[in-house]
Amino acid sequence: MSDDDVTLFGKLKNKLIDSKQKWAESGRLLTGKSAAHSQRLPPGQRQVENWPVLDLGIQPEIPTHAWRLFVDGEVETPTTWKWGEFTDLPKTTLTTDIHCVTAWSRYDNRWEGVSARDLLGIVKPKAAAQHVIFHSYDTYTTNVPLADFSADDVMLAWSWNGEAISREHGGPLRVVIPKLYFWKSAKWIKRIEFSVHDKPGFWEVRGYHNYGDPWLEQRYDDE
């Protein structure tokens, strides 16, 4: 296999995408409630023990010899990592809850990987950088404020509960941002772009909230 041997499995689930877009238009699952962040289960969520699989229909297979992470945009030190180079960076282990916009939450997920703060210390965002745009190997994109990416519980994870993150859940590497709905935690991460300007991603341009705070029930665009 060559360094370009990244393959895509499946095809876009257009019916699923259309139905979820209609959810946004109709406000499906909204309770109209909000809660303090100290409340563990956000409004409208139910706790699950399994880890549901949600994607656009494409699950890329990315051999670690072909994997690359590109970090660029408004940074002092644009960097490209190969797999071994990235996994040799200082490691962080965190346990967090996750909250999906489709109304499930899963408690006590143990992650291992590289903290966002360690990555930021290497690439050094410029003062003008205000937004972070994630680009995935399946062409998915999503956006978060730099201030949220900089939080102490945000990481780029390769391990979940002691095992390598499976392909269906975003392996070999995915983003984990526990305080936002989980569509913001991009799977199969390929590129992290630092930007002066916000760039709404796949779901954000299809009626989903640009920020996505579960405790404020920011499931959909309220404009």
CATH number for the domain spanning 60: value is: 3.90.420.10
Where do runs of H (alpha helix) occur along the chain?
14-26, 83-87, 116-123, 146-149
Tokens 């967090």 correspond to: 96
Domain for residue 90, yes or no? yes
Domain for residue 99, yes or no? yes
The tokens describing 188, both together, are: 């199969």
pTM, two decimals, is: 0.95
Return mean pLDDT, the chain.
95
Domain for residue 151, yes or no? yes
CA atoms within 13 A on the CB side of 204: 18
Residue 196 predicted with pLDDT over 70? yes
Q: Tens digits of per-residue pLDDT, 65-76?
A: 999 999 999 999
Domain for residue 18, yes or no? yes
Domain for residue 9, yes or no? no
Domain for residue 167, yes or no? yes
Where do runs of H (alpha helix) occur along 77-199?
83-87, 116-123, 146-149
What CA–CA distance (Å, rounded) separates 168 from 187?
A: 9
What CA–CA distance (Å, rounded) separates 129 from 124?
A: 10
What CA–CA distance (Å, rounded) separates 142 from 186?
A: 7
Domain that holds residue 190: 14-216
Q: What is the DSSP letter of 132?
A: E
Domains in the chain: how many in total? Answer: 1
Residue count of the chain, please give it: 223
Q: Is the peptide bond before 90 cis (omega within 30 degrees of 0)?
A: no
Residue 1's pLDDT band, with cuts at 50, 70 and 90, is very low
Residue 2 predicted with pLDDT over 80? no
Domain for residue 2, yes or no? no
Tokens 């990592």 correspond to: 81
Domain for residue 6, yes or no? no
Residue 85 predicted with pLDDT over 50? yes
Residue 40 predicted with pLDDT over 90? yes
Q: Tens digits of per-residue pLDDT, 143-163?
A: 999 999 999 999 999 999 999
Q: What are the angstrom distances between the C-alpha of 127 and each of 74, 150, 170?
A: 8, 14, 31
